[in-house]
Structure 1
Amino acid sequence: MTKVAVIYGGMSSEREVALMSGETVIQGLKEAGYNVVSLDLVITESLVPWLQAEKPDLVFPVLHGGMGEDGTLQAVLQWHGFPFTGSGVIGSAVALDKYRSKQIFRAAGLPTADFNIVKSAEQARQLEGQLHYPVFVKPANEGSSIGISRVNSKSEFLPAIELAMEYDKEVLVETFIDGPEYTVGIVGDELMPVVSMKSQTEFYDYEAKYISDDTEYNIPSGLSDEKEAYVQSIAKQAFEALNCSGWGRVDLMMNSKGEVFILEVNTIPGMTSHSLVPMSARAKGWSLAQLMKRIVDTV
């Protein structure tokens, strides 16, 4: 019986989500017949001794944000010779960094919204009068929509920058895209069905993702077969451009002209009851146990 060590929780701002995701993964792996051991990771020196004592066949990280999804944990696992699910060090580090991701998308000829990076209050003051509002302001290295604001006017800009800087020293300022949001899950060579989301909040924020029962999820997405295939293709190209592997999720938006823009790549997507990869797996006819087995088989 394959022994899988699930490392979850952690101490990033996304800890609560990672705890919920971890419980889902543990349940699914057990249902799939794996021997599961788990560790709620609080960054201490106990991780490597724990793994050396448990001797798992592979590790399944379920951590969101810094110190788990940013390549740090992946580097430790790789250094000590523990196989693990998901992207390696480079893919994990680059994908969490929205600013560098967008630079790579641009270099690869992939569509992404125009953007600026802000690293200081002085830069923010210089930029605020040059923007065409609305814009999105977001920490460059966070997930789960934490610290993100939709800024509708100049007067809202500096407070939004201050909020984002509570989470990261680099802040991304992104052109607002007026249209629906889509996501594509990827497991190995499989592209999952496109999911469209419509929230009752101003945008698809933390509450809409993890708390609200009012968010609308549509599978089928409502796109034509041709457009759905195009969105999946763009998602795959984005995933590969960042050197991601194993499994993940790509988020995109479409403007009123029907143009598709890549938002970001998630290398350890949420796995809660509201999460999109389990949702698209169910639409594909996979149970939670089958989804877990397919992810494990990518290692």
Structure 2
Amino acid sequence: MFNKIAVLYGGNSPERKISLISGYTILNALKKMGIKAYGLDTKNFPLFLLKKNKFQKIFIALHGKGGEDGSLQTILEYLNIPYTGSRSLASSITMNKFITKTLWKEYGLPVYPHFFLKKNDFYKKNYLEIKKNILKLNLPVCVKPNSTGSSLGVSKVDNINYLLDAIKKAFIYSDSILIEKYIEGIEYTVSILGNKTLPSIKIESIYSLYNYKAKYIDTNTKYFCPSGLNKYKETELSELAMNAWNVLGCSGWGRIDVILDKKNNFQLLEINTCPGMTPHSLFPISAKKAGLSFYDVINEILFLAK
């Protein structure tokens, strides 16, 4: 039985709003389970006091910078307090989409062509030269911040005249961006708990891009679990997700997003080492299909904390 747990949420990242919802949901579940849990907003709580308050374990419900990028994990490792999710190195790697895809590609895992751009280089170099390199990918392309989640600042560009605006928008959220070939196909997500995958989910959105609005606002977005894949494709997807997870040294729990392209091949999109746990979140949907209640999931994530 867990005696004293701290749920860390909020913070200063652009994903603060989602983190607060996730944190409150987790905190309420822990209290209903009879666990002495305390919610702490890292925006105004000094982390060094965690040791002084003698918390047995830390449940991280922070999304984005300052919570999912390895910085918090490094502090908790220094304080020697067990915490949920991946370790500091894996967290810092997965927060960086470019490094993540570079490692996946090195290990022969499927990723679509992409172009990496730093803000400093963008303002120093000739934009026409940058545009020429991006056009090698062939339109449409997807422009996204390199180190932000929840699809904030992400744009699909079909017309080269809109590329500059999309790049500037992405730079609002990150000092580096990733421009990749837009993959037309069906989006799936695979949740991982411990060393096992949970049933995959097919995502159906009215938008050509599964963006922030589709994730958190629009009620027309549909989630199918089971996903409708045949058993061979489901097995293939599960194995791909586990390989992508293990290559990056992830642990605890997380989620991997994938596209099934028009040639019936899976392409890795990105990885999330601290998935949302809001009423709209996908991790609990997968867990429920696997026979796990929300309380079961929270208990298992805490058990895996080290």
Q: CA deviation at 1:54?
A: 2.3
Partner of 2:287: 281
Pairing 1:139–2:138 present: no
Q: CA deviation at 1:52?
A: 2.4
Q: CA deviation at 1:35?
A: 1.5
Correspondences of 1:50-69 after superposition (within 5 Å): 51-69=50-68
Once the two structures are aligned, what percentage of the paired residues are identical? 39
Partner of 2:48: 48
Superposed CA offset, 1:188-210 (max 9, x none):
02211000101112311111111
Pairing 1:260–2:259 present: no
Partner of 1:233: 239
Pairing 1:102–2:108 present: no
TM-score (norm 2): 0.94
Alignment-mate amino acid for residue 165 of structure 1 = F
Q: CA deviation at 1:151?
A: 0.5
**Counterpart-to-counterpart distance in 2, 1:258 and 1:178:** 11
Q: CA deviation at 1:261?
A: 0.6
Partner of 2:128: 125
Contact 2:147–2:174 (Cα < 8 Å) also in 1: yes
Contact 1:137–1:173 (Cα < 8 Å) also in 2: yes
Pairing 1:198–2:204 present: yes
Partner of 1:18: 19
TM-score (norm 1): 0.96
Q: CA deviation at 1:211?
A: 1.5
Partner of 1:271: 277
Q: CA deviation at 1:38?
A: 1.4
- Other structure's SS at 1:12 match: coil
Pairing 1:77–2:76 present: yes
Q: CA deviation at 1:28?
A: 2.2
Alignment-mate amino acid for residue 127 of structure 1 = I
Query: How many residues were matched structurally?
Result: 297
Contact 1:95–1:265 (Cα < 8 Å) also in 2: yes
**Counterpart-to-counterpart distance in 2, 1:124 and 1:69:** 32
Partner of 1:37: 38
Superposed CA offset, 1:112-148 (max 9, x none):
1110101214365323234110000001001000010
Gaps spanning 5+ residues in structure 2: where? none
Contact 1:124–1:161 (Cα < 8 Å) also in 2: no
- Other structure's SS at 1:16 match: helix
When residues 150 and 218 of structure 1 are mapped into structure 2, their CA distance, relative to the original with a 3 A threshold, is same
Q: CA deviation at 1:25?
A: 1.1
Alignment-mate amino acid for residue 88 of structure 1 = R
Partner of 1:207: 213
Runs of 4 or more, structure 1, over 6 Å off, are none
Contact 2:259–2:269 (Cα < 8 Å) also in 1: yes
Alignment-mate amino acid for residue 237 of structure 2 = V
Alignment-mate amino acid for residue 204 of structure 1 = Y
Partner of 2:166: 160
When residues 128 and 194 of structure 1 are mapped into structure 2, their CA distance, relative to the original with a 3 A threshold, is same
**Counterpart-to-counterpart distance in 1, 2:55 and 2:258:** 36
Partner of 2:28: 27
When residues 81 and 287 of structure 1 are mapped into structure 2, their CA distance, relative to the original with a 3 A threshold, is same
- Other structure's SS at 1:129 match: helix
Contact 1:188–1:298 (Cα < 8 Å) also in 2: yes
Pairing 1:242–2:248 present: yes
Gaps spanning 5+ residues in structure 1: where? none
Contact 1:11–1:43 (Cα < 8 Å) also in 2: no
**Counterpart-to-counterpart distance in 1, 2:29 and 2:261:** 36
When residues 43 and 142 of structure 1 are mapped into structure 2, their CA distance, relative to the original with a 3 A threshold, is farther
**Counterpart-to-counterpart distance in 1, 2:236 and 2:34:** 36
When residues 91 and 22 of structure 1 are mapped into structure 2, their CA distance, relative to the original with a 3 A threshold, is same
Partner of 2:86: 87
Contact 2:69–2:95 (Cα < 8 Å) also in 1: yes
- Other structure's SS at 1:117 match: strand
Contact 2:24–2:39 (Cα < 8 Å) also in 1: no
**Counterpart-to-counterpart distance in 2, 1:112 and 1:172:** 13
**Counterpart-to-counterpart distance in 2, 1:26 and 1:152:** 43
- Other structure's SS at 1:212 match: coil
